[in-house]
Amino acid sequence: MSEKEYLYLLCQVPGLGAVSLFRLQEQFGNFKGVWHAEEKSLRQANILTEKRVESILAARTREKEYRKDYESMMQRNIQFTAFWEEEYPARLRPYRDRPAAIFRKGRFPADGVPTAAIVGARNCTEYGRQMAQAFGEELSRAGVQIISGLALGVDGAAHRGALKAGGSTFAVLGCGINICYPKEHYELFCTMEERGGLLTEFPNGTRPAPMNFPVRNRIISALSDAVIIIEAREKSGSLITADLALEQGKEVFALPGRITDPLSGGCNKLLQGGAAVLLRPSDVLEFFGLKYEKKLTLHKNTEKRLAKNENLVYSCLDSRPKHFDEILSDTGLGVTECMECLMRLELAGLAGKTGNQYYCRKM
């Protein structure tokens, strides 16, 4: 058996974390040595709890089953990448708690291309969902790879935005690679395998337990050059991701919100602590040193790149501020549809809000 196969066996041990794995490798010379170490030696190493030693011993009784699963992975389009292999993401290598191996469907984010995580509340507002999708789309269109966690709410919207722009997006899962969670995102799960990648350090069959998600958040932040928080409560998994990103020296952006809105509490707290204010895609792109093509010289070219309803709203705007009700009347669109178009035009730098419900065209 190869060293990689022994690592695979050890990855099946419940609760055996990355840091412990690396310490065991150092103690016993290699992963083969860890797998075959005597029970007494495992206990005397003072690396593992009694429960974890018992877990390793129990896993050994299932070696034949695990080896069969390893051999069948390729047939299921599942890749298993060890930390020493060339294709292992360079962004993860510097960290002591990096995953010893990653299970993957699809591909890894390209090392030489900017990455941004977009995360936030599962039970986000409609505004939060729209902003997550809009930022995912606009950043992806500019060439940024989008990272998130496939959760309901902000995560799913960010992934969809990236896919809508024809870009690449990657999900770091809190369960086994063969489990789609949440089940509502099955179509998204399948699409991302083709258009980006699904990644996890948890072995096949691992259920999405609550304790898994804070653990996976360190991978989301480590894979990202910048982390964007759209909506989050003051105590939430998104803030764990933000804290990890700050510890890793990453840039954190937060979308400001109303002080009376609980879902903006986390973002406002981050801003109070020094996070970068997120108002438009160019805020992130300027950090990456990328040019944001928010304006086109010719009005005709601008119209070509807009969707039908956005073009309708854009066409009725001019340099004189118009009230929202007037825009509604001119376009014949519904309130929600018209508001969404205006938000997207604002994000693209093509429209501006000049006062309470007044909008104008930006040339």
pLDDT in tens, 306-325: 678 888 898 888 767 888 88
Q: Percent of the chain having pLDDT more than 90?
A: 75
Give the mean pLDDT of 88-107: 97
Q: Are 77 and 193 in contact (CB under 8 A)?
A: yes
Give the mean pLDDT of 121-132: 93
* CA–CA distance, 198 with 184 (Å, rounded to integer): 16
CA neighbours closer than 13 Å in the CB half-sphere of residue 341? 25
Query: What digits encode the pLDDT tens for the residues 146-157?
Result: 999 999 999 999
The mean predicted confidence, pLDDT, of the chain is 91
Give the mean pLDDT of 256-267: 92
Could you tell me which of 164, 87, 81 has the C-alpha nearest to residue 130? Answer: 164
Specify the fold of 115-288. Answer: Rossmann fold (3.40.50)
Q: Which comes out higher in pLDDT, residue 268 or 355?
A: 268
CA neighbours closer than 13 Å in the CB half-sphere of residue 97? 13
Q: Give yes or no for residue 352 having a pLDDT over 90.
A: no
Query: What digits encode the pLDDT tens for the residues 266-309?
Result: 999 999 999 999 999 999 999 998 754 443 333 444 444 567 88
Question: 145 forms bridges with which residues in the sheet?
Answer: 115
Q: Give yes or no for residue 35 having a pLDDT over 60.
A: yes
- What CA dihedral angle connects 200, 206, 207 and 211, to 10 degrees? -70
Query: What digits encode the pLDDT tens for the residues 162-203?
Result: 999 999 999 999 999 999 999 999 999 999 999 999 999 999
Distance of CA 2 to the CA centre of its chain: 32
Specify the fold of 299-361. Answer: Arc Repressor Mutant, subunit A (1.10.10)
Residue 19 CB partners (closer than 8 Å, separation 6+): 96, 97
pTM for the model stands at: 0.80
Query: What digits encode the pLDDT tens for the residues 206-252?
Result: 999 999 999 999 999 999 999 999 999 998 989 999 999 999 999 99
* Token pair for 336: 């929600």
Q: Which comes out higher in pLDDT, residue 330 or 172?
A: 172
Q: Give yes or no for residue 16 having a pLDDT over 90.
A: yes
Q: Are 196 and 169 in contact (CB under 8 A)?
A: yes
* Phi-psi category of residue 81: left, alpha or beta, with phi > 0 → left and psi -120 to 50 → alpha: beta
Give the mean pLDDT of 94-121: 96
Domain ranges in the chain are 3-72, 115-288, 299-361
* CA–CA distance, 186 with 310 (Å, rounded to integer): 29
Q: Give yes or no for residue 354 having a pLDDT over 80.
A: no
Q: Give yes or no for residue 43 having a pLDDT over 50.
A: yes
Q: Give yes or no for residue 78 having a pLDDT over 50.
A: yes
Say whether 105 sits in a helix, a strand or coil: strand
What is the structure's pLDDT at 363?
55
* CA–CA distance, 59 with 10 (Å, rounded to integer): 8
What is the structure's pLDDT at 233?
94
Residue 64 CB partners (closer than 8 Å, separation 6+): none
Distance of CA 82 to the CA centre of its chain: 21
Rg of the chain, C-alpha, whole Å: 23
Could you tell me the sign of the dihedral formed by the alpha carbons of 161, 167, 172, 173, in that order?
positive
What is the structure's pLDDT at 244?
94
Q: Which comes out higher in pLDDT, residue 240 or 362?
A: 240
Question: 80 forms bridges with which residues in the sheet?
Answer: 103
DSSP-derived secondary structure for 121-138: -TT--HHHHHHHHHHHHH
Residue 306 CB partners (closer than 8 Å, separation 6+): 314, 345, 350
